[in-house]
Structure 1
């Protein structure tokens, strides 16, 4: 296989012109620089005409030194690649069908472009087409009608997490598809994205190490894959529960807000002959002012927790979910396709043996032999793709571990949010305890209450035998 630089032309000596598996199942279920050895550069545009390739730049064609399977990135390096903001534009475009539009701003490209949800969909499809063996994050669901404000805001946050995970991926971050999505300001970005991937094979076709991926894999790669998948599954389940606790801060703020703004009064007849209601109403009126303070403080605490804790947790969960999807794609897609090809090959061999015994016509035997050779080539390609898929999975697993230190930042932000929240909420609550108690309030509840007696059970009629 010959590899070429951006803008040059290349031909491939591999059987088949593309991945026999399509990326549609992953969609429905939802380049690294030469100095960084684990991820090799891929061509950005390849014309269909086969002509003599240019001599590639030595710096990009030079074989990296060291273990090509291991990554050398840190979390700080990945986070520093880019920070992308996704903001909702207040106006909804469209004459009849309204749709939300987003302003996408990239620090790296110093660009600000406008994108619709469907633009994100095409962007993800192109990534899956070019990188079927990598962790392409899922997109939030599309809601056609009746999208309320809360749903639109949740989708905006999810789109922001999606594009930031893509922009910080060692391979995606150097691909032309990302640059087009973040910087192209034309009116038809979807066709531009599709044109950039047209006539360009996937990563297996463009990576010069793809056919030798087996040589870099450890002997126990299948066992390592099973262990890593189970570990990531356990981490995902644990943090999925943790996000419920963090989101509880928002619910706490909303509950206090409801208490502070409650204006329900008892009917006048309930307090006509008693001064209790008047005293209680006076106390509640004074306490409502104090309740407004913890209400605001709790709302601020919930907002801080949402930004510092919940979103970081969601980002980490999105990454783990993309890894789980990739593992499922490897087992149910790559391996299943390979097994079916082997089964088809065995049937052809049986037909060949049967034809030899029955002395069939030479033309029929030649056609069957030709089909067997084609199937052998297809199986060989699938085996190479299977090993390359494991090669990519091994690197994506390492990428998950690179992101693991993010959990310490999440926990630290959660603790700081709790400490700050309690500091701000406790003073007004303590002032409530210092309020004078109305005379009809008991000083203290009795330390012990008489036990409740269970009602006597009625005799059970005997059943006739």
Structure 2
């Protein structure tokens, strides 16, 4: 059982790095005890943990160290010290990790396939249609000599008037970028708020499903209670023994309610995790891109100003002037290319906003289905409850005298 990978708590990793600075082999039991001893983790408990993990005089690996920490956590919870308990934890963590990775990969591929430029590129087609092993290695071998868009762009042959016109286009582009940036930032904020509310609502569904399961168990206990009650306690009222018989039939509906709510929770969680999260991640990625782009613009503007100053100072020296012109041309090329990339990414964001309608539609359909299912179950439940009361009302005096579960 290996605990060295996967979802290891950060504090475990930090502790390991601190101790490993001095050499893990120096962590003997003599040092181990005073390091972790507490009211709960007594020397006896720590000795039991140590012997469960290692038979040597020192901790032999990162994995053993993590096992010790995990067993200490279990001991502090009052659980038995047993390395086998870690198997369940590892299996659960692995499943959660794999599922989260699967969802993340699915979201990433959806973004790529909806990208207005990337979706039709050869490398994406290669990845999606590749059959066999070592897809990554084959991709590198196939496309390692392919130049990117910036490197393959031809050198500018624009004259001064063209440059002025191009500069005007870039200025307009930057202005439109800033407008889109503000709008998308607002969308990101509102979508995040909606996500938080939906998560909260859905978590309540999960709790409600568990609560109904507990109600089901309680009704089963009530319906199967075989306690005989004396007339001394009930007097002429035999209502409880009469309806108790019918309580045994109610858990069927309560269980169905719990299952329907749980199904709706899973449906809504899938919509939130697979679609709304993807949209929010896309918007967050765009915000990060905007930040990098603005930082790059500021840096490039300083470089342009510096190059212009150098050109003014060295206008009489042909070689230096030519070099400065080349530098300026390269900076302008980078700026134009970066702006074009941001433009494409902006279009990607707006192209994916239609997913929000799908999200709302899916949630609406889920609510309709859930409400319809629950309505039918609650009707059945209400009919049974009504029948319980009716059974008591229509009960004859003789039947009341012979009520099951009631001693005369």
TM range (shorter): 0.5 to 0.7
CA distance in 2, matches of 1:286, 1:234: 53
Q: 1:162 aligns with which of 108, 111, 114?
A: 108
Flag the structure with higher helix content.
2
Q: Is the 8 A contact 2:208 2:258 kept in 1?
A: yes
Specify whether residues 219 and 338 from structure 1 end up closer, same or farther in structure 2 by C-alpha distance, changes over 3 A only: closer
Q: 1:324 aligns with which of 284, 287, 293?
A: 287
2:188 paired with 1:242 = no
With structure 1 as the length reference, what TM-score do the two structures score? 0.50
Q: Is the 8 A contact 1:290 1:428 kept in 2?
A: yes
CA distance in 2, matches of 1:167, 1:228: 22
CA displacement at 1:234 relative to structure 2: 1.0
Deviations 1:238-269 (A, max 9, x none): 12222234334542442233123324789x9x
With structure 2 as the length reference, what TM-score do the two structures score? 0.56
Where does 1:274-285 land on structure 2 (aligned, <5 Å)? none
The SS at the match of 1:217 is: helix
Count of residue pairs brought into register by the alignment: 286
CA displacement at 1:425 relative to structure 2: 1.0
Q: 1:399 aligns with which of 330, 348, 355?
A: 348
Larger Rg: 2
Specify whether residues 246 and 282 from structure 1 end up closer, same or farther in structure 2 by C-alpha distance, changes over 3 A only: farther
Equivalence for 1:172: 118
Q: Is the 8 A contact 1:246 1:310 kept in 2?
A: no
Q: Is the 8 A contact 1:211 1:384 kept in 2?
A: no
The SS at the match of 1:220 is: helix
Equivalence for 1:192: 138
Q: 2:365 aligns with which of 404, 410, 416?
A: 416
Deviations 1:315-346 (A, max 9, x none): 322332332232222112x3144134236536
CA displacement at 1:228 relative to structure 2: 0.5
The SS at the match of 1:306 is: helix
CA distance in 2, matches of 1:97, 1:436: 59
CA distance in 1, matches of 2:94, 2:244: 38
Deviations 1:24-79 (A, max 9, x none): xxxxxxxxxxxxxxxxxxxxxxxxxxxxxxxxxxxxxxxxxxxxxxxxxxxxxxxx
Task: Note the aligned Cα RMSD (angstroms).
Answer: 4.5
Specify whether residues 287 and 396 from structure 1 end up closer, same or farther in structure 2 by C-alpha distance, changes over 3 A only: same
Equivalence for 2:253: 290
CA distance in 2, matches of 1:319, 1:399: 9
CA distance in 2, matches of 1:383, 1:313: 37
The SS at the match of 1:200 is: coil
Equivalence for 1:345: 307
Q: Is the 8 A contact 2:116 2:347 kept in 1?
A: no
Of the structure 1 ranges 294-303 and 374-383, higher mean CA displacement relative to structure 2 is found in: 374-383
Equivalence for 2:40: none
CA distance in 1, matches of 2:246, 2:122: 66
Equivalence for 1:38: none
CA displacement at 1:279 relative to structure 2: 9.4
